[in-house]
Structure 1
Amino acid sequence: MTPGALTALGWSAAALIGLAFSGLGYTVVRAFGSGAGAYTDSMSEEASRRFEDLFLFIPAKRISDIGRAAAAAVFLLCFVPLFDHTNPVSTVAGTVLGLTFGVLALMAPSKLLDILRDRRRRKFNEQLVEALGSMSNALRAGFSINQAFESVVQNGEKPISQEFGVMLQQMRVGMNFYDALQSLDKRVGSDDLTLVVTSIDIARRTGGNLTEIFDKISLTIRERMRIERRVQTLTAQGRLQGIIVACMPALLGTAMTFIKPDLMIPFFKSVNGMAAIGLTALLIAIGWFFISRIIRIDV
């Protein structure tokens, strides 16, 4: 075989290998994209249902679009400053950093939902104390337990009036009283409400005095809230220290980047700089973990 034929054969083999790897890469990327899209849609639908529990009616497609747009923006924000075709280490670091923070941005709607749900739960617990007193007075006046709930819906504030209103609506369409209470307890996710629901169920089965039970539960919840506020006051300094310690390196690095970009940008693109940033992030995470464990006191 002539040298020209061998050269042509070699180029043909290389082309076939490249084509095979290109097809494999395309298949993997397409499968990954399809799986990621399905996961994102599923997560968006779940987030949409949980937003509806908070009486925030946002379509699942809108949540998915917001998450993808945020992920793309964060990826470009992390990747573009570190991209350098002459420095593969910086490019790889930018890609990894962009993918990491992009995934976190994609999960941001779910995290935002957890924050809103927690705030709504705390507000519900604060209103539950007054609602129990109102229901106790209504029962003393001769109202039924359903009428006591209706008085809270009519005279109460959001979110407790909304949640009790949904429970009464479920009862009007055929759900029994106990199942409606269980649905309310599951939807709100409050330990205080669980105590109330359990007490109502026991009183209905054994014939207990609901007015006294509501008064005692109200007193218990009020005392627990007083202790929680006291704990929050005593641990405020520790929480502030943790926030300052976690944010100070990032703020100083950002300030130095704007003040001395010719000094900081090469540092970010170097191997030693990447290692230093990674070690700093690890130490901050460890410090924040221990601080959060120290100041976390369950009441």
Structure 2
Amino acid sequence: MNIILIACGVGVIIWLVYLILDRRKRKSANDLLSNEESKDINDHVEKNKARTQQESHKARNEALIHYSEYTLSARERTEAIVIGYLLFFALGYLFYNNLILAGVTGCFGFVNPKFKRKKLLEKRKNELNLQFKQALYSLSSSLSVGRSVENGFEETIKDLRLLYPDPTTYIIREFEIITHRIQNGEPIERALMDFSERAQLEDIENFTDVFISCKRTGGDLVEIIRRTSNIIGDKLEIQQEISVMVAQKRFESKALSIAPVMIVAFLSFSSPDYMAPMHSGMGYLIMTIALVVLAACYWVTQRIMKIKV
């Protein structure tokens, strides 16, 4: 009976999520349709021109990736909510042995999309930072043989395509955008500054500042790019060494966080009478305190393991 109720509850939650998403889509579509119907015929040509300019500007902004922003798709958001709800529901039922309290605990799963978005943002930035290191090595080699900065970026794209066969690789797309802007007559300083503002990475910001200063003052670009690439490479190597050293401790912290939950599960299934006092009266308060302490310990361990160079 409990399993049937759990399945029904999960099904209702999933149905509600899809219903909300579908209503939002319909509402946005209806708003767009009503706005189009309310246009005046007299200024139809003028507004069409303005709309064309807005669409072209929007298409340009969509082609440019803002690495500090990430919008989950409807599928990703739904999956995150369902997985989070099921995990918290199971945890709540394990600690409280009560479907109502388990359902309330499962509502914490609705914050799971926020954590998933943060994780995807961090992963994307790490990939871009590692790819930028390889791009600097290639750019330094191109400039050292006497190529101009513009030709150096074009040659770097060719080298990057050998390292990353996927044409949608972040650094390849960014260097292609920089090259296209240079070909259209835009200063390279502005193109690099735009890339730096969208990337929001310390290494890229430092490189851009040094590059612009060197370009304006007439410094040795080859030497500066070589030193910058070496510094960034050493920094990434230190980060990788720290990650390897902390990997074991991170696994141990996860094991210690799961251990109390496993103990409660073992006692609940093997000796239900022994855990019965914890599922009534003051037992609910004790279990709530235990969950809060476990969550606090997990948060502290994650903060300790997060080491920045």
What TM-score range do you get, normalising by the shorter chain?
A: 0.5 to 0.7
Residue 166 of structure 1 and its aligned partner are, at CA, apart by 3.2
Match of 1:229 in 2: 240
Gaps of 5+ in 1: 1-32, 43-48, 85-89
Match of 1:119 among 102, 110, 123: 123
1:298 matched to 2:308? The reply is: yes
1:276 matched to 2:286? The reply is: yes
Q: Counterparts of 1:167 and 1:150 in 2: how far apart (Å)?
A: 9
* Alpha-carbon spacing, 1:281–1:173, altered in 2? closer, same or farther (3 Å): farther
Q: Counterparts of 1:225 and 1:256 in 2: how far apart (Å)?
A: 46
* Alpha-carbon spacing, 1:52–1:68, altered in 2? closer, same or farther (3 Å): farther
Match of 2:249 in 1: 238
Residue 247 of structure 1 and its aligned partner are, at CA, apart by 1.4
Match of 2:111 in 1: 104
* Alpha-carbon spacing, 1:174–1:60, altered in 2? closer, same or farther (3 Å): farther
Gaps of 5+ in 2: 1-18, 29-61
- Tell me if structure 1 keeps the 8 A contact 2:178–2:192: yes
Match of 1:287 among 297, 302, 305: 297
Q: Counterparts of 1:91 and 1:80 in 2: how far apart (Å)?
A: 6
Cα deviation 1:24-51 (Å, max 9, x = unaligned): xxxxxxxxx99xx87xx99xxxxxx799
Higher relative contact order (CA 8 A, sep 6+): 2
* Alpha-carbon spacing, 1:137–1:91, altered in 2? closer, same or farther (3 Å): closer
Match of 1:168 among 179, 191, 196: 179
Q: Counterparts of 2:267 and 2:186 in 1: how far apart (Å)?
A: 63
* Alpha-carbon spacing, 1:223–1:74, altered in 2? closer, same or farther (3 Å): closer
Q: Counterparts of 2:95 and 2:299 in 1: how far apart (Å)?
A: 29
* TM-score, normalised by the number of residues in structure 1: 0.64
Residue 209 of structure 1 and its aligned partner are, at CA, apart by 1.0
Match of 1:177 in 2: 188
Q: Counterparts of 1:170 and 1:222 in 2: how far apart (Å)?
A: 27
1:191 matched to 2:202? The reply is: yes
Residue 251 of structure 1 and its aligned partner are, at CA, apart by 2.6
Residue 190 of structure 1 and its aligned partner are, at CA, apart by 1.9
Match of 1:247 in 2: 258
1:217 matched to 2:228? The reply is: yes
| Secondary structure of the corresponding residue to residue 208 of structure 1 | coil
| Secondary structure of the corresponding residue to residue 203 of structure 2 | helix
Residue 210 of structure 1 and its aligned partner are, at CA, apart by 1.0
Q: Counterparts of 1:282 and 1:210 in 2: how far apart (Å)?
A: 55
Aligned-residue Cα RMSD (Å) equals 4.0
Summarize the alignment of residues 80-91 of structure 1 with structure 2, pairs less than 5 Å apart: 90=98
1:137 matched to 2:141? The reply is: yes
Paired residues in the alignment total 245
Q: Counterparts of 2:94 and 2:301 in 1: how far apart (Å)?
A: 33
Residue 216 of structure 1 and its aligned partner are, at CA, apart by 0.7
Match of 1:148 in 2: 152
- Tell me if structure 1 keeps the 8 A contact 2:95–2:264: no
* Alpha-carbon spacing, 1:75–1:136, altered in 2? closer, same or farther (3 Å): closer
* TM-score, normalised by the number of residues in structure 2: 0.63
Q: Counterparts of 1:72 and 1:130 in 2: how far apart (Å)?
A: 41
